[in-house]
Amino acid sequence: MDALPFTSGELICLGSSLAFSGLFYYLYRKNAKVVTRIQEAPKLQVDDHLPEVLSASSKGCRRYVAIEGIVLPAGAALTSQYHEELQGVIQKLVLKEHRLVWNSLARSWAESERVLLEQVHTVPFALASPSGEAVTRVSVERPLRAVQLPLETVYERYQQPAHDFKDLLGHYLSGEKPKGFLETEEMLQVGAGVTGIGELVLDPDGALCLQPPADGTGYFLRLGDWQGLLAELESVSRLWKWAVLLCGLAATSVLLHALCRAYRHRRLKQEQEEQRREFEALKGGGDAALDPSEDLPDDACIICLTRPRECVLLGCGHVCCCFRCFQALPSQTCPICRSPIERVVPLYQA
Ligand SMILES: [Zn+2]
Ligand SMILES: [Zn+2]
């Protein structure tokens, strides 16, 4: 125990808080790197000068940029399943079942949801100039690889099933109650203002496209401007930073706690050793030798029943134990009368 002053519980706490702070630090660094990249990226609008911006870049014809434009389909657009007049380029249909499940531990019904169906459709699309003056288009490649899809909910319907008495009885017996079905349709509509953050590439044939960066930096498509995205990422960064600090604090407090205990343990040992030396000096001899052939002496220690009684416990004055048993007492109280032991002196028998 002296070599390793930790209990197994403390070791688990220390190990897990160190592991979590490492993980959170990694996430924080990764997020902070993306924030810096976005801050440094040129903020562009789709216009006819884009090819020149790219040609001037040191990395040839590709550059990490934030670009704003409006969505235009390259060919035929998708039509909303529920609103015929709505046209889009990404469509996501989701059907979810909401249920109540009986939790026997908490003795209550808990909400639970399950995705029954999820479909994502997409057609090739490009970003165009909002003013409509420029002819340049930036085609958006692999939009489903973006961190989050820039979708708007265009349809939402919640259906509650009707239950008769037999159903209700079945639900109570099975511990599962269907609550309802939620049907949603989300779309990226034609004409929506979108900010794309990714790698802008100028192909040899003069076509421009926005694609996921080859070095793995974030690829973002969002409705609205890049400042909003930056604010969101910065708040996530702050969250990871706090998580790192909290885990580091937890690890430090476990470490301090264990070190304090080890220090107290050492001090106690030292005090006991000092007390023993003092006792030996007063007695003027070594520890009472044990002779197993001897019968139990009349003045045997009441605790070990082998060595003779040799301690006078003060202030009560009881003479009941040998010095080793005195040192092994769980608390500094007399084993006979429970009064506190202020001092111990050797017994002299003449
Ligand atoms: Zn004893
Ligand atoms: Zn006593």
345 Cα: distance to centroid of ligand 2 (angstroms): 13
Ordered DSSP codes for 79-119 = E-SS-TT-EEEEEEEEEEEEEEEEETTTTEEEEEEEEEEEE
Distance 333 CA to ligand 2 centre (A): 8
CB-based contacts of 250: which residues, under 8 Å, 6+ apart? 13, 17
Q: Which of 64-73, 294-303, 305-314 shows the lowest mean pLDDT across its residues?
A: 294-303
Ligand 1 center–CA 308 separation, angstroms: 7
Q: Where does 98-225 have alpha helices with state H?
A: 165-174
Ligand 1 center from residue 323 Cα (angstroms): 7
Ligand with the closest atom to the CA of 318: 2
3 CA from centroid of ligand 1 (Å): 29
113-148 pLDDT per residue, tens = 899 999 999 999 988 887 777 778 888 888 888 888
Cis peptide bond N-terminal to 315, omega within 30 = yes
Instruction: Read off the pTM.
Output: 0.64
Ligand 1 centroid vs 271 CA: distance in angstroms? 20
Q: Please give the structure tokens belonging to residue 230.
A: 């930056």
Give 317 Cα–ligand 2 centroid separation in angstroms: 6
- Among the bound ligands, the one closest to the CA of 301: 1
Q: Which ligand is nearest to the CA of 339?
A: 2
Predicted pLDDT of residue 184: 93
| pLDDT for the residue 51 | 75
Which ligand is located closest to the Cα atom of residue 332? 2
- Give the distance from CA 262 to its chain's centroid: 30
pLDDT tens digits, residue range 166-222? 787 887 777 788 888 999 999 999 888 888 898 888 877 778 888 888 887 888 898
Structure tokens at 177: 């109650």
Residue 72 amino acid letter: L
- Whether the CB-CB separation of 326 and 343 falls below 8 Å is answered with no
Whole-angstrom distance, CA of residue 206 vs CA of residue 211: 16
Query: Residue 1's pLDDT band (boundaries 50, 70, 90)?
Result: very low
Distance of CA 234 to the CA centre of its chain: 18
Q: Is the pLDDT of residue 294 over 60?
A: no
The CB-side HSE value for 216 (13 A sphere, CA atoms) comes to 3
Q: What is the pLDDT, as a whole number, of residue 260?
A: 93
pLDDT confidence of residue 296:
65
Q: Which ligand is nearest to the CA of 341?
A: 2
Q: What number is the average pLDDT over the span 268-296? A: 73
Going by the DSSP 8-state scheme, the letter that residue 237 receives in this structure is H
Tokens linked to 115 = 């995705």
Over residues 144-165, the pLDDT tens digits come to 888 888 888 999 999 887 777 8
Neighbours of 249 (CB within 10 A): 12
How far, in Å, is the centroid of ligand 2 from the Cα of 268? Answer: 23
Strands (E), 227-342: 311-314
How close is the Cα of 212 to the center of ligand 2, in Å? 83
Q: What residues pack around ion ligand 1 (CB closer than 5 A)?
A: 301, 303-304, 307, 322, 325
Q: How far is the CA of 219 from the centre of ligand 2 (A)?
A: 79
Cα(318) to ligand 2 centroid in Å equals 5
CA of 280 to the centre of ligand 2 (A): 22
Q: Check pLDDT > 50 for residue 238.
A: yes
Q: 88 CB contacts (<8 Å, ≥6 apart)?
A: 77, 78, 80, 187, 188, 189, 190
Q: Quickly list DSSP for 39-65.
A: HHS-EEESSTTHHHHHHTSTTTTEEEE
Q: Are 41 and 197 in contact (CB under 8 A)?
A: yes
Query: How high is the pLDDT of residue 211?
Result: 87
Residue 350 bridge partners (DSSP): none
Per residue in 90-110, pLDDT (tens digit) is: 999 999 998 888 888 888 888
Cα-to-centroid distance, 327 and ligand 1 (Å): 9
- Asked if the model's pLDDT at residue 286 lies above 60, the reply is no
Residue appearing with tokens 């001092």: 343
Dihedral of CA 211/217/221/223: which sign? negative
pLDDT at residue 77 greater than cutoff 50: yes
Average pLDDT score over residue span 312-339:
89
Average pLDDT of every residue of the chain = 85
Residue of 199, 188, 209 lying closest to 139 (CA atoms) = 209
Asked whether residue 287 carries a pLDDT value surpassing 60, the answer given is no
Contact partners, residue 17, CB within 8 Å, separation at least 6:
247, 248, 250, 251, 254
In contact, 5 and 258? CB cutoff 8 Å: yes
pLDDT (tens digit, 9 = 90+) per residue, 3-12?
A: 567 788 888 9
In this predicted structure, what is the pLDDT of residue 253?
93
